[in-house]
Structure 1
Amino acid sequence: MAYTYMLLCSDGSFYVGSTRDLEHRLYEHQIGEGAAYTRHRLPVQLVWHEEHENVGAAFHREKQVQNWSRVKRLALIRQDYAGLPALAKKDFSRRRDRSDESG
Structure 2
Amino acid sequence: MTDPRTADPDHFVYVLRCADDTFYTGYTTDVERRVREHDDGAGAKYTRGRTPVELVHVEGFDSQSAAMSREYEIKEGSRTAKEDIVAEGGVPESVDLPAALLADDAG
Counterparts of 1:76 and 1:36, CA distance in 2: 23
Residue equivalent to 2:82: 73
The equivalences for 1:10-49 within 5 A come to 10-49=19-58
Deviation at 1:54, TM superposition (A): 1.5
Counterparts of 1:41 and 1:30, CA distance in 2: 9
Deviations 1:30-58 (A, max 9, x none): 11100010012011000001000021111
Counterparts of 2:28 and 2:39, CA distance in 1: 15
- The number of residue pairs the alignment matches comes to 80
Q: Normalised by the size of structure 2, how large is the TM-score?
A: 0.72
Which structure 2 segments of 5+ residues have no match? Answer: 1-9, 90-107
Q: Normalised by the size of structure 1, how large is the TM-score?
A: 0.75
Q: CA RMSD in A?
A: 1.1
Which structure 1 segments of 5+ residues have no match? Answer: 81-103
Higher relative contact order (CA 8 A, sep 6+): 2
Residue equivalent to 2:104: none
